[in-house]
Every structure is written in structure tokens, then in C-alpha cells.
């Protein structure tokens, strides 16, 4: 088990669109395995590669520990692309490992259609809803350089301005490893 340091808001890599994966080699598999270890250690349910300093279009999700979602298997999405958003929306409070201790309401599509590649680079399409759709949208946004705090109300943005500043300066206390300020890409 290898725990990777989680990047924090303010790190440049979180604002950059990630790079498409063209080959899944041993290093990519090791990255994915370490991402699962890191996410589970931090009690997360989703993680994007740039959240651990890797500039790759990879996200993982495991909502099986959430009540009523025990049957949902962990999933790896490589080069995901959301093809369709439902007209039906829902507002739910979200948080993020890269923005610890901040939770705010975010409106997202209730259902999505997402195309992605698996670890064999075979293409798949999923039509999903509920919590799995929300988590994939949240992590997909990371791969586009978007944070959930970008999607909150103006009132919420004012309310979280000071706590975000503390996170950017690493004046926080979390139970998982965090990165120093990341201006670089970890090579895998």
C-alpha cells in the first residue's frame, strides 16, 4: 500500500486540464492502485489523478461503503467524457479531499451518460444516476481543472474565502498526507 500526498486547492495542477492516457503500463496500474489506497485511507469516495499530482485523465470511484450503495463496485474511468446530462437536477452538499473541512451545496445533473476506457483501454459507456453520477461529475470536473467551490452560490463563495486561504497556505489539520504546493507533475 502506497499513500500519495493529496494536492490542495491553490495547487496549479488542480486548475489544469489533464492529459489523455494513450497507454496503460505498469506505472499507470501502480498509480491507480495507489489512488485507491490514498482515497480509502482518507475516507473518500472518489479521486482524480491530478489530486495526487499526476497529470493524467484518470478518475476512480468507490461508493460501496455508503449506505444503500454497497452493491456498487469500485470503478476506474480512463479518459472519461460525459456525453449527456439529464435535465433533472439535484442539489446536494459536497466536499473534497483537496478542499478539506469545506462542504457546500452543489447543483448537478441527476443522471449522466459517460464514455470512458477501462485499464485495457477498451471503451465503455454507462448511463448512471444518483450518487454515482454525482461523484463521477465531481471527479470529472477535477480532470477539467474545475473545483466544486467554483459551482457554489456567490454567498457561499464569500463564506468560504477565508477557509480556502488557510487550505492554500497549508494551515489545516487532516488525517491523510497532503502535498507541498504543487507546481509540477509527478511522472508515472
The residues annotated as belonging to the active site are 139
Separation between Cα atoms, residue 79 and residue 73, nearest integer Å: 19
The maximal CA–CA distance of the chain, rounded, in angstroms, is 45
Separation between Cα atoms, residue 157 and residue 147, nearest integer Å: 12
Separation between Cα atoms, residue 153 and residue 36, nearest integer Å: 31
Quick one: DSSP state of residue 20? P
Residue 153 burial (CB count, 10 A): 12
Residue 140 burial (CB count, 10 A): 21
Amino acid at each position: 500500500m502506497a499513500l500519495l500526498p493529496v494536492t490542495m486547492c491553490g495547487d496549479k495542477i488542480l486548475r489544469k486540464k489533464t492529459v489523455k492516457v494513450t497507454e496503460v503500463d505498469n506505472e499507470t496500474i501502480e498509480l491507480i492502485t495507489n489512488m485507491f489506497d490514498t482515497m480509502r485511507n482518507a475516507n473518500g469516495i472518489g479521486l482524480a489523478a491530478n489530486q495526487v499530482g499526476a497529470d493524467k485523465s484518470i478518475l476512480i470511484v468507490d461508493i460501496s461503503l455508503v449506505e444503500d450503495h454497497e452493491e456498487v463496485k469500485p470503478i476506474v474511468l480512463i479518459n472519461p467524457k460525459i456525453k449527456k446530462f439529464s435535465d433533472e437536477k439535484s442539489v446536494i452538499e459536497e466536499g473534497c479531499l483537496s478542499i478539506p473541512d469545506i462542504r457546500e451545496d452543489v447543483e448537478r445533473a441527476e443522471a449522466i451518460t459517460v464514455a470512458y476506457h477501462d485499464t485495457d483501454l477498451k471503451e465503455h459507456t454507462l448511463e448512471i444516476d444518483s450518487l454515482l453520477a454525482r461523484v463521477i461529475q465531481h471527479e470529472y470536473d477535477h480532470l477539467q481543472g474545475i473545483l466544486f467551490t467554483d459551482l457554489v452560490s456567490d454567498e457561499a463563495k464569500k463564506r468560504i474565502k477565508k477557509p480556502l486561504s488557510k487550505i492554500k497556505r497549508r494551515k489545516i489539520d487532516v488525517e491523510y498526507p497532503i502535498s507541498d504546493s504543487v507546481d509540477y507533475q509527478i511522472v508515472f
